[in-house]
Each structure stands twice: as C-alpha cells, then as structure tokens.
Amino acid sequence: MANTAIIKDNKFERIWLLAKIEFKLRYYENKLGLLWALIKPLTNLVIYFIAFKLVMKTGTPNFAIYLFSGLIVWEFFVEATIGLTLILQTKKYLYEYSNMSKFEIYLASMISISLGFIFNFLILMIFILFSDIELGVNILYLPMHFAVLFFFSFGIGLILSNIFVMAKDIQQIWPLVSHMMMWMSPIFFLESMLKSGIPFIEYINPMFGIVTSFRDAVMYNKAPDFEILALNILQAILVMVIGLFLLKKIGKKASEIL
C-alpha cells in the first residue's frame, strides 16, 4: 500500500511539475510575463467592443463584461484544442525518454492552460465587483461548468491530436471549424438572437450551452438549463471516450509514424 501511495504521489507530482514548467515557459520567459495571458482576450475585447458596441451600437447591458466572460471561455477552448493537437509531435521526447505516459503529458498541458484561465477569471471577477452586477448563490455552479468546459476541450484536443498523426491537414481544418463555432456561440450576440436565427442551436453547438451556463452563473445569478447542462456533460464524456480510444489505438504508434 505504501509503495502504491508513493507511485501515485510521484505521478501527481510530475504532472504538476510539467504543468508549472509549461506555464512558466509560456509566460514568464517573456518580459510581460503573466500579462500575456490577459493581453489576448483584452485585445479581442477592445476590438469586438468597438465593433459591436460603438459601431453596431448593441444595447446589451454591461456589454464589456458580457463580452469578456464569453471570450475567456472561448479562448480556453481554442487554446486547449489547438495546443493539444501537436503534443504527440512536439513532446515526443517526453513519452519516449521519460516514464511519463502520453495521457499525463496531455493532462499537464490542460492544467497549464487552466492556470491561465484562472488568472483571466480573477480579472473578470474584479470587473464584476466594480460593476452593478450582483453575485448570487448560482455562482456555486461554476466549478461544474468549468469541469464540463475542461473535459469537452480535453476530449476534442485528444481527438485532434491523434487525427494529426494520420492526417496533418487537421491542423488547417480545425481553425476554420472552430471559427465557425465561435460565431455560432453567444459570445458577441444574445442567446435569444442566435436561437431565433438557428433553432435548436444549443443542441448543435456544445459551446453554446457551455458559454451560456458560465455567463448565467457569473452575470445573471441564473441556475443552468439542466437539460442543456446534461447534454453538455454527455457530449464531454463522449468526446473524452473517443479521444482516449484514439490515443490507445493511434497514439501508441505516434513515435513510429511521426
């Protein structure tokens, strides 16, 4: 039992260590450091705020916070899925010359990306505290909403990464697909506007429900739509199962193919 506990401790320690190293390499080797985690969503916020609030004159209350809350969720999804796509190639040395499994390497990357998300979320909460938005008990749903986002992004990333081993075109195709998903998610527009234009969109695009649930909890003190939440949970489980299956079948051949 003691040996098993030591092995588990070592596994968690090396995953956490790799996550911290990746996080530091991503940010702390740059002069602006962790601010880079914030610069991208803030830059997008300024661009889209000018386009939708000043030019198109949308009347959405607290539009800057509305926009930022959607952007940080979307940026996490994109960074995770695109970031995981090349792992079997860029981190080949880790699974070939260390005792880390491929899954541990993926998990460490997801944890690293999550650290950046936490930083952005704290900035969002500061914005909210200085606004007229009142936080309520439904904010307690946030860990569950983030878990759905985490595992859905993780599963898609696993699928893309293993497809990349066989078909490198996926690296060009996925940004186009994700860009289409972005415009079908309630990041810039109200959920009601998208639903009126595309009926049942919340069933077609998983990120629609994920973004909506997250924003409802932090901005509107609303409980989630449990039917959509259950669907999003099932979708996250499904893509994780497919991703792990592909990792088992294709991932083991990655070092030979790549």
Q: Dihedral angle at the C-alpha atoms of 110, 246, 183, 44, nearest 10 degrees?
A: 30
Residue 4 lies in a domain: no
Residue 3 lies in a domain: no
H or E stretch covering 75 = helix 63-85
d(CA 68, CA 128): 11
Residue 31 lies in a domain: no
Per-residue confidence (pLDDT) for residue 53, from 0 to 100: 65
Residue 27 lies in a domain: no
Range of the domain at 210: 37-257
Residue 24 lies in a domain: no
Residue 6 lies in a domain: no
Residue 30 lies in a domain: no
- Give residue for tokens 């092995």: 7
- Residue ranges of E strands in the chain: none
Residue 217 lies in a domain: yes
Per-residue pLDDT of the chain (258 residues; tens, 9 = 90+): 444 444 455 778 888 888 888 877 776 555 555 666 667 667 777 777 776 666 556 777 888 889 889 989 999 999 999 999 988 887 777 777 677 788 999 999 999 999 889 988 988 898 888 888 889 999 999 999 999 999 999 999 999 999 998 888 999 999 999 999 999 999 988 888 899 888 899 999 999 999 999 999 999 999 999 999 999 999 999 999 999 999 988 877 765 565
Comparing C-alpha atoms, which of 20, 74, 70, 32 is closest to residue 49? 70
**Count of domains in the chain?**
1
pLDDT digits (tens, 9 = 90+) for 151-174: 999 999 999 999 998 888 999 999
